[in-house]
Chains A and B, each alone.
Chain A
Amino acid sequence: MNGISSYRIGALALRYLYLIRRSWIRVIELAYWPTVQMILWGFITQYLGNHSDVLNQATGLLLSGVLLWDILFRSQLGLSVVFFEELHARNLAQLLVSPLQPVELILALMSISLVRTLIGVGIAVLLAIPFYGFNLFALGPPLVGFFINLLLMGWAIGLLVSALVLRHGMGAESIAWAAIFALAPLCGIYYPIATLPEWLQLLSWMLPATYVFEGMRAVLLDHAFRLDYLLHALLLNVGYLALGIGVFLATVHKARERGSLLQSGE
């Protein structure tokens, strides 16, 4: 493989930043759902806090869950939706006959997903401080590990979803919005994994996000930092990300064979 060029990755990232920069609506859209979710769950937390021993022990358990979940959701969506922009714009063929390598396309998508996640979730995280006196940064250093793991898992799913849409056309676009919600019940965002039936727990422990949310509860309820959880999540993420990249690259190769890059977007 030829050398990966940060200049070309930067060029493509610039294309997406142009889009964000020229439209405040897009920035508002990025922050809208995470903020609405945060407000909703903030009130639920306040209400349940008066009726629940668990929430009394650790205020912000639900809010932490919802904000961390949004990191996963936004990073996946940030990657997939930006890739769909290329299909909608019938621009993918232009990109793939330029010197840009498919792996550089992936890295550019990841970079812009990071920016979109930071904007979207960042605004909600900052607003939670004046709204509910809740500071996600109080999770301390483990938050960095949580963030990285959720970001990586989001990218892996985003790449798989993008590959699916590249293979089956824009008709499959709605999967980008729905795919991750299928995993939500298994990740233990709002409840411990022990709540699930045993057979489902086996599936649940195969998801990196499960370790993040269990780790979050360990910090908030037991004031314990579970490094083993983070490392386990990281190991799974390496595997899933390799799978996502491999499937995406194979799908691009297959599209070159089938000639579908000439008709992408239709």
Chain B
Amino acid sequence: MPLIPWGAMMAEMPAIQVEDLRKHYGPVLAVDGISFTVARSVTCALLGGNGAGKTTTIAMLLGLLLPTSGRIRILGEEMPRGRQHVLPRMNFSSPYVDLPQRLTVKENLTVYARLYGVRQVGERLATLSRDLDIDTFFQRPYGSLSAGQKTRVALAKALLNEPEILLLDEPTASLDPDTADRMRSILIDYQRRNGATLLLASHNMSEVERLCDQVIMLRTGCIVATGAPHELIHRYGRKDMEEVFLDIARGIQGGEVFE
């Protein structure tokens, strides 16, 4: 059998592998034995209604939350054991976490750039502030920004280390349609330029159709559908992802209630 170089083998590994993942919060089962794989350089959406298990799943992928059982491999590394090898190569953004309010945008990004081991901090910050159009409030305290401005800063923080895997929870929440559209363009451009893998949780179905190659639908902690957006639209006989989402969230398939 020919020997495969270690580097090449690791490059072949999927970006994210999840097997039979479960999370109990006391008696509540938040994630119920889900398994999925996200290949490299793919943009995947994790969808579901409130309480479906999206944030819990993302938190477990990040090592912020320990699974009750199951297995997670990120970039070939077992999580959470290999988190120190993986975390410098990934990043995330979520409205559920914040940045220090009293520090300026520049100070916050400088601190995180150093935490992620970014080499040319000044250069990277200049690029991001230009790309994400945050230079006008770069010297202002983070706490004084509007919700939309904060979302852009959070995205800048998520892109600081040019991550191979980017986990985004509601990436365009609180943004006006114009800014949200610009952010999507930036994400698409970033993904294509860097061959990055994006996993995003979103309630914006047009965003999912535009950005994502793959969709994983969750309902009460279980995966109820997977596939490309156009496949799901076809499978459910609907005209767009919005309708597919409503069908799945309400437990309807082909006009039948499936629960």
* A residues apposed to B, CB below 8 Å: 2, 5, 7-8, 10-12, 14-15, 18-19, 22-23, 85, 89-91, 93-101, 253, 256-259, 261-262
Q: Which residues of B contact A93 (CB under 8 A)?
A: 64, 96-97
Closest 10 CB pairs of A and B: A11-B114, A90-B98, A2-B84, A93-B97, A15-B111, A97-B62, A89-B100, A98-B115, A99-B88, A99-B87
Using a CB–CB cutoff of 8 Å, the interface residues on chain B facing chain A are 23, 25, 55-56, 59, 62-66, 80, 84-85, 87-88, 92, 96-103, 107, 110-112, 114-117, 157
Indicate if the CB atoms of A11 and B111 lie closer than 8 Å. Answer: yes
Q: A99 to B63, alpha carbons, bound, how many Å?
A: 11
A261 touches B84 (CB 8 A): no
Q: Cβ of B117 and Cβ of A261 under 8 Å apart? A: no
Q: Is the CB of B64 within 8 A of A97?
A: yes
Considering the chains assembled together, what is the distance between the CA atoms of A85 and B100 in angstroms? Answer: 8
| Chain B nearest CB, measured from A100 CB (Å) | 5
**Is A7 in contact with B117, judged by CB distance below 8 angstroms?**
yes
CB–CB B65/A262 < 8 A: yes
Write out the residue numbers on chain B whose beta carbons fall within 8 Å of the beta carbon of A101.
Answer: 84
Q: Which residue of A lies closest to B113 (CB)?
A: A11
Q: How far is the CB of B32 from chain A (nearest CB, A)?
A: 16
Q: Can you list 8 A-B contacts with CB-CB less than 8 angstroms, sorted by A residue number? A: A2-B85, A11-B111, A11-B112, A89-B101, A97-B92, A98-B87, A101-B84, A262-B97
Q: Given A7-B117, A15-B111, 17 other A-B contacts at CB below 8 A? A: A2-B84, A11-B111, A15-B103, A19-B100, A90-B96, A91-B97, A91-B99, A91-B100, A93-B97, A94-B157, A96-B63, A98-B115, A99-B88, A101-B84, A256-B63, A256-B66, A259-B59
Q: A99-B87, A262-B59 are in contact. Are A10 and B102 (CB under 8 A)?
A: no
